[in-house]
Amino acid sequence: MDVIESLHSRSDDTTPVPRHVAIIMDGNGRWAKARRLPRIAGHKQGVEAVRRVSKAAREQGVEVLTLYAFSSENWRRPEEEVRDLMGLLRHFLKNELKDLVAENVRLRVIGDYRALSGDLVAMIDDAIAKTSVNTGATLVIALNYGAQAEIVAAARRLASAAQAGEITADAIDEAMFSDALTTHGLPPLDLLIRTSGEQRLSNFLLWQAAYAELLFVDTLWPDFDAAALADALAQFGRRQRRFGGL
């Protein structure tokens, strides 16, 4: 799909709305620290932010929302925190699946989530299966995800296909490489937001962000809401995207 085709307009005006928005959800720990609360309190509020922002994205016309929930580097965090994060993921899947089905939302997971515990993998597979026929918005959760590993895996798949004679090396182009990534079939990434004031991609959607608009906001993730998302979309709408042209 051409990157320019990834935009559409609001029904009430001509402001372009990004079809695909991704968010690096940062700041849970700092939110808790500022309130002298344990880090888990910040993560719990972060889950609440996921709920309201996911709903707001659908209401504001975003077709695909991709959230960076757990990176492959997050395993370096203290064992207790990782355990708490996995517990919150279980809680989210258990409590949100019914609403995802009812609201016609398709769930998709990118990253090596099968490295998680068996019960979590089963819950994720069940949620994906039960929402697979939904035709509304798509919620993509990045779990145990790292963009560099994703790119390497795609390169290996294409190399194996070439070695087996299924494709030729000369046939490999940007489109074929994109189709080998875990985000295959999704609209091109239009807008990538990072909360909490940090200004780096942290190994998230490196290939997909090639022509995405980047927006770094100071708001900590637990405080990010529908109004903050609307402001981000408005900023996106005011930008001129040339994709290398004039």
State yes or no: 30 annotated in a binding site.
yes
State yes or no: 112 annotated in a binding site.
no
For residues 195, 154, 131, 230, the Cα torsion angle rounded to the nearest 10 degrees is: 20
- The residues pairing with 21 across neighbouring beta strands, listed in sequence order, are 65, 191
Does residue 199 carry a pLDDT above 70?
A: yes
State yes or no: 97 annotated in a binding site.
no
Query: Residue 8: its pLDDT value, please?
Result: 61
Contact residues for 14 (Cβ-Cβ < 8 A; gap 6+): none
State yes or no: 46 annotated in a binding site.
no
At 207-242, the pLDDT tens digits run 999 999 999 999 999 999 999 999 999 999 998 876
Does residue 245 carry a pLDDT above 70?
A: no
Angle at 189 between CA 187 and CA 191, to 5 degrees: 135
Active-site position among 2, 26, 84, 170:
26
Could you give the CA distance from residue 222 to residue 210 in angstroms, rounded to a whole number? Answer: 28
Write down the mean pLDDT value for the chain. 93
Rounded to an integer, the average pLDDT of 40-67 is: 97
State yes or no: 6 annotated in a binding site.
no
Rg, the chain, Cα only: 18
Does residue 246 carry a pLDDT above 60?
A: no
At 173-187, the pLDDT tens digits run 999 999 999 999 999
26 in catalytic set: yes
Query: Residue 240: its pLDDT value, please?
Result: 80
Could you give the CA distance from residue 228 to residue 53 in angstroms, rounded to a whole number? Answer: 9
Q: Which of 141, 147, 137, 184 is nearest to 19 (CA)?
A: 137
Active-site position among 2, 12, 74, 218:
74
144 in catalytic set: no
Supply the pTM of this predicted model. 0.92
How does residue 113 score in pLDDT terms, banded at 50, 70 and 90? Answer: very high
State yes or no: 27 annotated in a binding site.
yes
Query: Residue 4: its pLDDT value, please?
Result: 44
At 153-164, the pLDDT tens digits run 999 999 999 999
Q: How would CATH label the architecture of 16-145+189-238?
A: 3-Layer(aba) Sandwich (3.40)
State yes or no: 114 annotated in a binding site.
no
Query: Residue 2: its pLDDT value, please?
Result: 47
State yes or no: 19 annotated in a binding site.
no
Q: Are strands 64-71 and 20-24 parallel, antiparallel or unpaired?
A: parallel
